[in-house]
Amino acid sequence: MPKVKRKTKAKSKGGIFSRFRDYISQYMTAAAAGVTVVAIGLAALFWAGGYFGLLGEQVSRMTNAGAVAMGMDVRRVTAKGLDNTQRNDILDAVGPVIGSSIFHFDPHAARARVENLGWVRVAAVSRLWPNSVHVSIRERRPAAVWQMSGTLHLIDENGVVIAEEISDAEYTNLPLIVGAGAPATANEILRALRKEPALWGAATALVRVGDRRWNMRLQKGGDVKFPETDISNAVRDLARLHDAYGILDRELEYVDLRDPENLIYREAGADETIAG
């Protein structure tokens, strides 16, 4: 019987090369991991030592110097809309920008500082290339003088303090409001009284009572006591009564408008009150 010779598998010719690739791959992976660890370690060291901050400052100085060398340094600050606001206050709010790079100037931060000025209601701050900064503002409109603890302050219609500690000779044409909480709540009664000039002409001040309601102090003495709510209707009722009977031309102790059904007043020196 003839012998059958078994076939043998040929050894792969690529075996040695495959092992070499595996070795190189493992080496590269280990090397990459080592580099990553070293990089993280160096970054942590630089961060702890403040080197990144120093590098940033150095770059900032270099870019600032470059911009200045190219003529892009701030050389002037212009302003528009200044009626009561002082130019020096605007310059102080913008900051010491003259001579510095226009690229480093932050108009948003400058606008926030400008809008913190008492007279400024809203502001716009912009860079005008290559070397100017422009500020445009809209000012608040004075609405009243607020007296608190003997000190006078100028406020706008929203109760925002425009100017602190003004003199009693200033803004004498404006209504005087008195007491805690007066600025935040005066707008409603001031609007109502502006429609009735005869009433305001008879008054010297509006006094906030318990931070709940208003009294109107009269030039001839006495008070008008307004209700806590529905002030506009109370002002109209008082105006009609004054037009018909000239009640505010009299010497009064008070006029009480707190009862929606009845108007009560007492003349100075009288023994009884009168309901109208």
- Read off the pLDDT of residues 210-244 as tens digits, 9 standing for 90 and up: 999 999 999 988 999 999 999 999 999 999 989 99
Q: Total domain count for the chain?
A: 2
- Read off the pLDDT of residues 87-134 as tens digits, 9 standing for 90 and up: 999 999 999 999 888 888 999 999 999 999 999 999 999 999 889 999
Residues 271 and 147 in one domain: yes
Residue 41 lies in a domain: no
23, two tokens = 């070795």
- Read off the pLDDT of residues 5-38 as tens digits, 9 standing for 90 and up: 454 444 444 555 555 555 555 545 544 444 444 4
Residues 148 and 259 in one domain: yes
161, two tokens = 């303090």
User: Considering 97, 119, 139, which residue would you say is the last residue of a domain?
Assistant: 139
Q: Look at residue 108 and give its three-state secondary structure.
A: helix
Q: What is the band of 72 on the pLDDT scale with cuts at 50, 70, 90?
A: confident
Residues 160 and 225 in one domain: yes
Q: Is 144:177 a contact under the CB 8 Å cutoff?
A: yes
Residues 83 and 164 in one domain: no
Residue 262 lies in a domain: yes
pTM tops 0.95:
no
Residues 233 and 113 in one domain: no
Q: How many residues does the chain have?
A: 276
Residues 162 and 127 in one domain: no
Q: What percent of the chain has pLDDT over 70?
A: 72
CA dist 80 and 128 (Å) reads 14
Q: Is 125:111 a contact under the CB 8 Å cutoff?
A: yes
- Read off the pLDDT of residues 49-66 as tens digits, 9 standing for 90 and up: 554 455 445 555 555 555
> Average pLDDT of the chain?
82
End-to-end Cα spacing for the chain: 145
Q: Which residue has the higher pLDDT, 190 or 13?
A: 190
Residue 58 lies in a domain: no
pLDDT of 39 higher than 80:
no
What is residue 249's DSSP assignment? Answer: G
| CATH code of residue 254 | 3.40.50.10960
C-alpha to C-alpha distances, 183 to 158, 175, 230, nearest whole angstrom: 7, 12, 18
Residues 149 and 270 in one domain: yes
Q: Is 154:166 a contact under the CB 8 Å cutoff?
A: yes
Residue 126 lies in a domain: yes
Residue 42 lies in a domain: no
The radius of gyration of the chain from alpha carbons, rounded to an integer in Å, stands at: 40
pLDDT of 204 higher than 80:
yes
Residues 129 and 156 in one domain: no
User: Considering 121, 139, 157, which residue would you say is the last residue of a domain?
Assistant: 139
84, two tokens = 């009561």
Residues 81 and 93 in one domain: yes
User: Considering 115, 139, 163, which residue would you say is the last residue of a domain?
Assistant: 139
Residues 157 and 173 in one domain: yes
Residue 28 lies in a domain: no
Residue 236 lies in a domain: yes
Q: Which is nearest to 213 in space by CA: 252, 186, 191, 241?
A: 186
Q: What pairing do the DSSP bridges indicate for beta strands 203-209 and 176-178?
A: parallel
Residue 233 lies in a domain: yes
Domain that holds residue 241: 142-275
Residues 134 and 147 in one domain: no
Residues 110 and 191 in one domain: no
| CATH code of residue 123 | 3.10.20.310
